[in-house]
Amino acid sequence: MPEFADEAQLHVKGGDGGAGAISFRREAHVARGGPDGGDGGSGGDVWLVADRDVASLLAFRDHPHRRAEKGGHGQGKGRHGARGADAVVKVPEGTVVRSKGGEALADLVAAGDRWLAARGGRGGKGNARFLSNRRRAPSFAEQGEVAEERWLDIELKLMADVALIGLPNAGKSTLISRISAAKPKVADYPFTTLVPHLGVVRTEDHEFVVADVPGLIEGASEGKGLGHRFLRHVEMARVLVVLLDLARAEGPPPGEQERVLVEELGRYQPSLLGRPRVVVGSKADVAAHDFPGSRISAVTGEGITSLVGRMGALVTEARQAEPAPVGIVVHRPEPEGLLVERGDDGAFVVRGRPAERAVAVSDLTNAEALDYVQHRLRRLGVDRALARAGAREGDLVRIGGFSFEYEPDQ
Ligand SMILES: Nc1nc2c(ncn2[C@@H]2O[C@H](COP(=O)(O)OP(=O)(O)OP(=O)(O)O)[C@@H](O)[C@H]2O)c(=O)[nH]1
Ligand SMILES: [Mg+2]
């Protein structure tokens, strides 16, 4: 069935960094010339970008994985590895991104909004970088950094200006197909519409987007019927049009229908009751109920022009009252600093990207590399941070996957 998807899971992985090379110049009269191992290239990043031409999250249902290109490895003669290409993942406007834990990470509201979903790994340094007075022939290089990788929950909030609200079979789909180019299925039974449909309405004075959402029933806000899944799309609409079925004599009268619909909206989100709301009776041509308010017939066209005019005017008014769109909101900055915590086993755990990275990319079985990493950690202030956190000689310290005993500087 689904020609539309408004929820999906997405797995993103940046490109791993390329490894630095260990290499020495070949010279005619010297057995081992100076180090000339090039650096590895950085891996590409994964970006999510809102794009007007993407209508749903369907593409992620069957293929949830997106990864950027790896960085090339460094080579001899000082050749650096190539940078891996970024992966640009197009998502519809109105895509909301959350972590698996439910934390909001980004709202991609309008075309062009971008969000960095997974950072590529940095390339490792080649051995040429480790040349110093003490180290004439460095025998080590860094590995490439492993890229960020994670699962995300993505969800689409339709960007409709007007939402059509009504009980099942009230004539919502018939109305949207009359006033826009959208052609959802119309049939004389409830729950014909299973997924939301958007239509663009154009008149001389106005242009706006209308959403035909599946019918609501009593209890929808608690999960009854289909409507609750789509109530969040109603949340985005500036104007609500409540359609009351006047046709069926045996069905609930219009006043009762309105009570149920308004109650469900309010239960789902009280602020919806503050939205501009137009209430109309539908199927005026075959009306079986008395109705004092305005009436339309999507079949004969009665009342349609005036309804569309009212929708347009309310949308324009609501747009003018709004602050400018926010663009991307990134809720969680990347931690870059240095932090020392106590592990459950009493060990001092050092966190922070630069320190973790220094450890992760190095081959710590190589004595020279180990020496370099210790020097680097000191430069990053790890020793000082440990001393401040109360570490004493012999205490266990962990950084990433690396453990050692603390030895204070003299
Ligand atoms: N006579 C008449 N029939 C109408 C009118 N509008 C809709 N209908 C009929 O009412 C039935 C239901 O119409 P739909 O547009 O599918 O209703 P809906 O509100 O989209 O229903 P769900 O998708 O199930 O929630 C269909 O048989 C339509 O032909 C109208 O103005 N006049
Ligand atoms: Mg319908």
177 within ligand 1 shell (Cβ under 6 A): no
Q: How far is the CA of 219 from the centre of ligand 2 (A)?
A: 19
CB neighbour list of residue 200: distance below 8 Å, 6 or more residues apart:
180, 181, 182, 207, 208, 209, 210
Is residue 207 located within the same domain as residue 301?
yes
Residue 329 within a domain? no
The residue from 157, 180, 211 where one domain ends is: 157
For position 2, what pLDDT does the model report? 36
Q: What is the CATH number of the domain that holds 121?
A: 2.70.210.12
Q: How far is the CA of 216 from the centre of ligand 1 (A)?
A: 14
Is residue 147 located within the same domain as residue 171?
no
Is residue 183 located within the same domain as residue 303?
yes
Residue 410 within a domain? no
Give the domain range for residue 313: 162-321
Q: In this structure, are strands 149-156 and 95-99 parallel, antiparallel, or unpaired? A: antiparallel
Residue 250 within a domain? yes
Is residue 171 located within the same domain as residue 303?
yes
220 within ligand 1 shell (Cβ under 6 A): no
Residues forming beta bridges with residue 402, ordered by sequence position: 399
Residue 267 within a domain? yes
- In tens digits, the chain (410 residues) has pLDDT values of 334 567 899 999 999 999 999 999 987 777 678 999 999 999 999 999 988 778 778 889 889 999 999 999 999 999 999 999 999 999 988 899 999 998 889 988 877 888 999 999 999 999 999 998 888 889 999 999 999 999 999 988 767 889 999 999 999 999 999 999 888 888 888 878 877 788 888 888 888 889 998 888 887 777 776 656 677 778 878 999 999 999 988 889 999 999 999 999 998 889 999 999 999 999 999 999 899 999 999 999 999 999 999 999 999 998 888 765 554 555 444 456 788 888 888 899 998 888 888 888 888 888 888 888 888 898 888 988 898 888 888 899 999 888 888 887 65
The residue from 157, 178, 206 where one domain ends is: 157
Residue 253 within a domain? yes
Q: How many domains does the chain have?
A: 3
Which atom in ligand 1 lies closest to the alpha carbon of residue 166? Answer: 19
Q: How far is the CA of 161 from the centre of ligand 2 (A)?
A: 18
Name the token pair of 298: 């999507």
For position 228, what pLDDT does the model report? 60
Which atom in ligand 1 lies closest to the alpha carbon of residue 284? Answer: 31
CA distances 9 to 50, 247, 274, 294, 309, Å, are: 16, 42, 33, 44, 40
For atom 7 of ligand 1, the residue with the nearest CA is 171
Is residue 116 located within the same domain as residue 129?
yes
Is residue 296 located within the same domain as residue 355?
no
Helix H or strand E segment including 227: helix 227-236
Q: What is the CATH number of the domain that holds 378?
A: 3.30.300.350
Is residue 356 located within the same domain as residue 387?
yes
Other CB atoms closer than 10 Å to residue 270's CB: what's the count? 9
Is residue 148 located within the same domain as residue 214?
no
Is residue 189 located within the same domain as residue 317?
yes
Other CB atoms closer than 10 Å to residue 337's CB: what's the count? 11
182 within ligand 1 shell (Cβ under 6 A): no
Residue 223 within a domain? yes
173 within ligand 1 shell (Cβ under 6 A): yes
257 within ligand 1 shell (Cβ under 6 A): no
d(CA 195, CA 227): 9
Q: What is the CATH number of the domain that holds 267?
A: 3.40.50.300
The residue from 139, 157, 175 where one domain ends is: 157
Which of 167, 178, 186 to mutate to test ligand 1, by most ligand atoms within 8 A of the CB atom? 186
Phi-psi region of 261 (alpha: psi -120 to 50; beta: other; left: phi over 0): alpha
Residues forming beta bridges with residue 243, ordered by sequence position: 166, 280
Name the token pair of 35: 């180090």
Residue 330 within a domain? no
Is residue 283 located within the same domain as residue 371?
no
Residue 333 within a domain? no
Strands of 7-13's sheet, edge to edge? 65-67, 7-13, 149-156, 95-99, 104-108
Is residue 147 located within the same domain as residue 166?
no
For position 1, what pLDDT does the model report? 31
- How much is the CA Rg of the chain, to the nearest whole Å? 31
Is residue 234 located within the same domain as residue 258?
yes
Give the burial class of 40: count Cβ atoms within 10 A of its Cβ; 0-12 exposed, 13-18 middle, 19 or more buried. buried
For atom 32 of ligand 1, the residue with the nearest CA is 283
